[in-house]
Copies of this chain bind each other. A is one copy, B any other.
Amino acid sequence: MNKMDMPYVVGVDVGGQTTKIGVVDMRGQVLAQTVIRTDTYGEVEPYIAELAEAINKVIADADVVGKVRGVGMGIPNGNYYSGEIENAVNLKWGRSGSLPVAKLLTAQMGGIPVALTNDANAAAMGEMTYGAARGMKNFIMITLGTGVGSGIVINGEVVYGHDGFAGELGHVCAVRHNGRHCNCGKSGCLETYASAMGVARTAREWLDLSDEPSSLRSLDNITSKDVYEAAKDGDKLALKIFDFTGTVLGQSFADFIAFSAPEAIVLFGGLARAKDFLREPIERAMNANVLPLWRDKVKIVFSQLKESDAAILGASALAWEL
């Protein structure tokens, strides 16, 4: 069939607990969607079987049977080149070795093409196809969630590198000496400072280290959301925490710019909601640390995609290239 007769794609966002599935049209409208559990399977095969069934159901719900070009998946540790996931510790059935997820799903669905990549790369594709980076050929997507992820676009294409795993900017070194320990085993990684987790960690550290009054002192288990709410109420310590977080991000962004000279850096994710507190320190630190030729030239852009749809849209964007 001609590609023009297949103007729909399916996006699948695989998280540790749930998997979101949606049918998407060329303008980035989600026509139908559903959710299945990710964590009720110990093996990959029964998960893929239920996933295929759910995909077929949303395709039917959207009334586009026979008009779907392919399936794009955002999945932890997804390798775009091989269509496999490798040692995906967040997936109960994917923890050790390689699993040919794309191939298994294609087989289960009668040959429909499937492409996959990790969620940050999928987010970059989504932003380029439907969002804030439409028309941009060179940008860097930074996802500020529990951790920090990234998807790098150069000449209109996501950078996968020699092995398929390029773009791990959450693990560049932000603090060289006495940096915070990171889950990856290293220390000083950007994501230990500039993620939702990092913001909460900064709050706990600073409350311990000073006597400064703050509404955060009354809380037991401080989250980045608490810090955000406190900042909105004008809490000075909370405001300083965002200033610090933005400064660390901006310093790292300056180095990213020296690498790929992007038109913009696009921010997405739970922590990016604090954009009113992050934008100023990010821009200040970034412009103070770039070469003069890039000063005040690189845009900081916050995602325009609806947060509830963004993961499905990002994954679906992969499928247009199939």
Q: A291-B168, A292-B184 are in contact. Are A161 and B262 (CB under 8 A)?
A: yes
Cβ A152 vs Cβ B259 within 8 A: yes
Report the copy number of this chain in the oligomer. Answer: 2
A47 within 8 A of B: no
How many angstroms between the C-alpha atoms of A175 and B173 in the bound complex? 11
CB-defined contacts of A172 to chain B, threshold 8 Å: 255, 258-259
Whether B289 pairs with A173 at a CB distance below 8 angstroms is: yes
B-side contacts of A293, CB under 8 Å: 163, 165
**Residue of B with least CB distance to A138:** B162
Q: Is the contact region of chain A dominated by helix, strand, or loop, or is it mixed?
A: loop
Using Cβ atoms and an 8 Å threshold, which residues of chain B touch A258? 167-169, 171-172
CA distance A36 to B115 in the complex (A): 54
- Complex contacts, A256 vs chain B, CB 8 Å: 259
- Nearest chain B CB to A21's CB is how many angstroms away? 28
Residues 156-205 (chain A) with a chain B CB within 8 angstroms? 157, 159-169, 171-173, 175-176, 184-186
Contact B259 A176 (CB under 8 A): no
Near B by CB (< 8 A), chain A positions 243-264 give 251, 254-256, 258-263
Q: Is there a chain B Cβ closer than 8 Å to A155's Cβ?
A: yes
Could you say which residues of chain B place their CB within 8 Å of the CB of A263? 162
- Chain B residues positioned under 8 Å from A137 (CB to CB): 162
Cβ contact within 8 Å between A161 and B289: no
Given A184-B292, A291-B186: A259 in contact with B173 (beta carbons within 8 A): no
Tell me whether A255 and B173 are in contact (CB under 8 A). Answer: yes
CB distance from A154 to the nearest CB of B (A): 6
- A217 close to chain B: CB less than 8 A: no
Provide the bound-state CA to CA distance between A165 and B258, in Å: 8
Q: How far is the CB of A298 from chain B (nearest CB, A)?
A: 8
Which of B165, B167, B176, B259 has a CB less than 8 Å from the CB of A251?
B176
Closest residue of B by beta carbon distance from A255 = B172
The CA of A251 and the CA of B297, in the complex, are separated in Å by 28
Contact call B259/A259, Cβ cutoff below 8 A: yes
Q: Is the CB of A297 within 8 A of B163?
A: yes
Q: Which residue of B lies closest to A169 (CB)?
A: B258
New contact pairs (8) apart from A155-B159, A166-B259, A186-B289, CB-CB < 8 Å: A159-B260, A161-B262, A165-B293, A166-B260, A167-B261, A172-B258, A184-B292, A255-B255
* Chain A residues engaging chain B, CB cutoff 8 angstroms: 137-138, 152, 154-155, 157, 159-169, 171-173, 175-176, 184-186, 251, 254-256, 258-263, 289, 291-294, 297
Q: What are 24 of the A-B contact pairs (CB < 8 Å)?
A: A138-B161, A152-B260, A154-B159, A159-B260, A161-B260, A161-B262, A162-B261, A162-B263, A163-B261, A163-B294, A165-B293, A166-B260, A166-B261, A167-B261, A169-B259, A171-B258, A172-B258, A176-B176, A184-B291, A184-B292, A186-B289, A186-B291, A255-B255, A256-B259
- What 10 A-B pairs come out closest when comparing CB atoms? A161-B261, A166-B261, A162-B263, A138-B162, A172-B255, A168-B258, A166-B260, A172-B258, A161-B260, A171-B291
